[in-house]
Structure 1
Amino acid sequence: MSPQLKLTMITLDCADPLALAAFYQQATGLEPHPKSDADFAALGRADGLFLGFQRVDDYRAPRWPDQSGPQQFHLDFTVEDLAEAEARLLELGAGKPEYQPGEGKWLVLTDPAGHPFCLVRG
Structure 2
Amino acid sequence: MPMEMNLVAITLDCPDPLALAAFYQQATGLVPHPRSDADFAGLNREDGLFMGFQRVDGYRAPTWPDQTVPQQLHLCFQVDDLDEAEARLLKLGARKPDHQPNGDQSRVLTDPAGHPFCLTSR
TM-score tier after normalising by the smaller chain length = over 0.9
Partner letter of residue 12 of structure 2?
Answer: L
Percent identity for Structure 1 against Structure 2: 70
**Unpaired runs of 5+ in structure 2?**
none
Superposed CA RMSD: 0.7
TM-score, normalisation: structure 2: 0.98
Shift of 1:46: 1.6
Give the whole-Å Cα distance in 2 for the aligned partners of 1:117 and 1:23: 13
- 1:88-114 Cα offsets, whole Å, 9 max, x none, are 000000000000011110000000000
Task: Using structure 1 for the length normalisation, give the TM-score.
Answer: 0.98
Q: How does 1:8-27 map to 2 (within 5 A)?
A: 8-27=8-27
Q: For 1:82 and 1:56, locate their aligned partners in 2 and report how far apart those are by CA, in whole Å.
A: 32
State the SS of the aligned residue for 1:11.
Answer: strand
| Cα drift, residue 45 of structure 1 | 1.1
Using the TM superposition, give the Cα deviation of residue 6 of structure 1 relative to its aligned residue in structure 2, in angstroms: 1.2
Alignment of 1:76-91 (within 5 A): 76-91=76-91
**Deviations 1:21-77, CA, capped at 9 Å, x for gaps:** 000000000000000000000001121101100000100000110001100110000
Q: How far apart, in 2, do the equivalents of 1:46 and 1:78 lie?
A: 17
After TM superposition, what 4+ stretches of structure 1 lie above 6 angstroms from structure 2?
none
Equivalent position SS for 2:107: strand
Shift of 1:3: 2.7
